[in-house]
Amino acid sequence: MNISDSEIQSVKQRFGIIGASPILNNAVRVAMQVAPTDMSVLITGESGSGKESFSKIIHNLSPRKHGQFIAINCGSIPEGTIDSELFGHEKGSFTGAHEARKGYFEVTNGGTIFLDEIGEMPLGTQARLLRVLENGEFIKVGSSKVIKTDVRVVAATNVNLMLKVEEGKFREDLYYRLSTVPIYVPPLRERGRDAELLFRKFAGDFAEKYKVKPISLTEDAKETLLKYRFPGNIRQLKNLVEQMSVLSTDNKEINSERLLQYLPQESSLPALYRNGSTSDSFSERDILYKVLFDMKKDMVDLKKLVLRAFSEGGNATQMIKENPELFEGLDSIPATESQLLDYNTVVPKVHEETTEEEVHDITHETEDDSLSIEKKEKELIVRALQKNNNRRKNAARDLGISERTLYRKIKQYDLEE
């Protein structure tokens, strides 16, 4: 199926896709080519890169365009209810099931289901999904009756599913069944001058929305914009333009210096910061807590390793090989086998010179550190829930974790009301 550049441009205009980079055009072309078929599609790309737009292209250019289209975020549905949401349940099948309910796969019969964040789907639900893909059938929760459905599945992920397969967190057979046709949506930093085109588009939209003169960039500001990596991709750029459109009341022409004032510094800060929470409820102290949690956890693990070496006469060579992440970046890590042997003579010597009291202190300190980390984590979760009036979805976003992870943490720390 040959698709011309004019056809690609027409589809981009129809679905509001702005950009002219070859890698973006190729993604649109593949979506157009696969749309008339019934093949499963796996869309990959970073968060905020616009993956849902490609699922809509596939649905609206397919024979199913008159059927229903439903977009579901697998990461936002708690693990205990996702089977019921997708496949339905019978009355009385679990606590709170006061009446029978149809799931999305029954409601969307003849249409398309877009499963975003497919990597967050529990393994049990993955097995049910595989049955739908292979046989077009499923069973409601609490039922034994097989129901047939004709649904096209388009999935998306912002993580490496093959790594999850290797870790045993994603089914290999499901991965290959979903990725019959893969579509890669590039991040904004890989799209050349598309950031400039998007900036102009958003500036015009927000000027019309807020009844103000549109902002524009000087030449040096354009270069600054194009050099920025935009970890949040299109979503981040859109929020940036909206902020500048509202706050730039004096001069609507933005130079590089002013633009830099609005651009957050790129760093390796945790998702709590990257998710854009600007509320005073989450101060720099909270961000520092998150950074320290990771550092302190490594220190706790390292202390446990040393304790094991003391108590069991552990082999340092094997210890380093088994836990390379804890020694990464340390100048003292031996580079050769002969140097490793030196470590094996040092550890027993330290063990001999360490008293039973000191070993007890290390053990006690390690336990205290773990408890301290848990206490701070619990404190952050409580504050996030309070700030968002117990709305878990918003609290999870502020904390930089999925809603399912927050659900598990609430149970772990017994924070249910």
Tokens linked to 76: 């936002």
> Do strands 146-148 and 137-139 pair parallel, antiparallel, or not at all (unpaired)?
antiparallel
User: Residues 285-316: pLDDT tens digits?
Assistant: 455 555 555 565 566 666 666 666 655 555 55
- Looking at the chain, the whole-number percentage of residues with pLDDT higher than 70 is 74
Residue extents of the structural domains in the chain? 5-186, 189-262, 284-412
Cα torsion angle, 26, 31, 32, 36, sign: positive
Segment holding 355, helix H or strand E: none
**pLDDT of 203 higher than 80:** yes
Is it true that domain 189-262 has CATH number 3.40.50.2300? Answer: no
What's residue 317's pLDDT?
57
Q: How far apart are the first and last CA of the chain?
A: 57
Dihedral over alpha carbons 229, 240, 8, 223 (to 10 degrees): -50
Pick the CATH number of 5-186 from 3.40.50.300, 3.60.20.10, 1.10.3720.10, 3.40.50.720: 3.40.50.300
Where do we find the tokens 């006469």?
Answer: 313
What's residue 333's pLDDT?
45
Segment holding 261, helix H or strand E: helix 256-262
Q: Cα–Cα distance between 269 and 290 in angstroms, integer?
A: 8
Same topology, domains 5-186 and 189-262? Answer is no
Cβ atoms of residues 48 and 240 within 8 Å: no
Cβ atoms of residues 282 and 272 within 8 Å: yes
User: Residues 251-287: pLDDT tens digits?
Assistant: 899 999 999 999 987 544 444 433 333 344 444 445 5
The backbone region for 141, taken as left when phi is positive above 0, alpha when psi lies in -120 to 50, beta otherwise, is beta
Q: What is the mean pLDDT of the chain?
A: 82
User: Residues 134-187: pLDDT tens digits?
Assistant: 999 999 999 999 999 999 999 999 999 999 999 999 999 999 999 999 999 999
